[in-house]
Amino acid sequence: MKTIISVVGARPNFMKVAPLHKALQKYGDSIRHVIVHTGQHYDEAMSKVFFDDLELPHPDVYLGVGSGTHAEQTAKIMVGFEKVLQDRKPDLVVVVGDVNSTVAASLVSVKMGIRVAHIEAGLRSFDRSMPEEINRLLTDGIADLLFVTEPSGVRNLEKEGIPREKIFLVGNVMIDSLKHYQAKAASSAIAQQLGVERGKYTLVTLHRPSNVDAVEGLRKIVSMFEAIASRSTIVFPVHPRTRKMLEQHGVGASANAIRNLLLVEPMGYLDFLHLLERAQLVLTDSGGIQEETTYLGVPCLTLRENTERPITCEIGTNELCGLDVEKILRKSFEVFDGKMKKGRVPELWDGNTSDRIAAILNSKI
C-alpha cells in the first residue's frame, strides 16, 4: 500500500483536492490518501462549510499554523509538516495552487527525499511582486510531476528547463468540482435570500493587496461601484482583509451608502457557485474565478494588470482591466447593453481532470 499526502492550506485548495480525493478512491486497494490541512487560512464556520459542501473527509492531520508574515507562516508550516512526513512516511506529496502551504510543503518533502506532484503547475503572471508567483516558480523548480491546466503552462515550464517527461497537460481540477456540484448549487436559496434575479446583478470578489490595501485603490473601487449600481445590483461577499481595509481607510461608510450594493459575508462554495453561474457580470481579482466564469460563459472583468491564466482572456470570457475605472465602466456597460465578449471552454476542461491525474499518480508512484 502506497501513501499519498495531499496538502491544503487555503480556501481554493479544497476545490482542487476534493475531486482528486474522489478519483483516488478508485485505487483504494493500492493507494492510501491522506489529507493534511496546514490551517494557513482557517475559520471554524467556513471550514465546516468547505467540508460539507465538497463532501471532503475531515483532514487526517491539522497543523493549525494560522496567519502571520510570509516568513512566519512558511516556517511554521515547514516545521509542522516535517513531523507529519517523519510520522507518515509517504511515497508522494501532492501540492496544489500557489499559496505558502504549497511551497513550504514542497521544500520539506524534497529535502527529505520524498517526491512532489504539483497541480496547477506552469501558470505564470510574470509579475514577481506577487508572492504567489514566487511560490509557483519555486514549487515547479523542485517538483517531480507537474500537472498543467492550459498549454501556456507547458510552454512556460519548458522555457524554464523542466524536462518534458515531468510535464502533463491534464486540464483543470477546479472545473471538476464546478461540474460535479453544479446541480447541487442550483438548489441554493442564496439568490432568493439576497433578493436578486438571474442575469440582473454583478458579482464582485476583491482581496489582493494591490487593490484593497491603499486608500486610493479603495476610493476608485467605491466610485466604480456607484456607477455600476445605477445599472445593476452589486453582490459583494467581502473578504475579511477587504472589510478591514474599508474601515481602516474610512471608506466603509461611502460603500455602505451606495444603493443597490449588497455587502455580504463570505459564503460557502455552493452558494457562491449558484450566484456565479447566474450573474450578469463578474468583477474579480481572483485567479480561479477567471477560470470558472470562462467555463460558465459569464462575462468577467479582472481588476489586475496581468493574469497567470491567459487562456481565459485568449479564448474565454475574461478581460484584464487593472484599476482603470474608465475601462471597467466602459466594459461593464457594454455587458449591460448586451455586447458581452463571447468565449469558449478550453480543451480538457471537461470534468475528468482528477481522473487523469489519479491514473498518472497510480502509474508513477
Maximum C-alpha span of the chain: 60
33 is a catalytic site residue = no
Beta-strand ranges (E) seen in the chain are 2-8, 31-37, 61-62, 92-96, 115-121, 145-148, 167-169, 201-205, 233-237, 261-264, 281-284, 300-302, 318-320
Q: How far is CA 158 from CA 86, 137, 268, 313, in A?
A: 33, 13, 37, 22
Residue type, 232: S
- CA–CA separation, 218 and 288 (whole Å): 22
Q: Name the burial class of residue 242, with classes exposed (0-12), middle (13-18) and buried (19+) by CB atoms within 10 angstroms of its CB.
A: buried
Residue type, 350: D
Residues 6+ apart with CB under 8 A from 129: none
Nearest to 173 by CA among 144, 149, 157: 149
* Catalytic hit among 21, 70, 207, 239: 207
Please say whether the beta carbons of 127 and 121 come within 8 A.
Answer: no
Q: How far is CA 113 from CA 89, 99, 109, 110, 162, in A?
A: 10, 22, 6, 5, 19
Placement of cell 482591466 in the chain: 321
Residue 232 CA to its chain's centroid (Å)? 26
Return the active site residues.
207
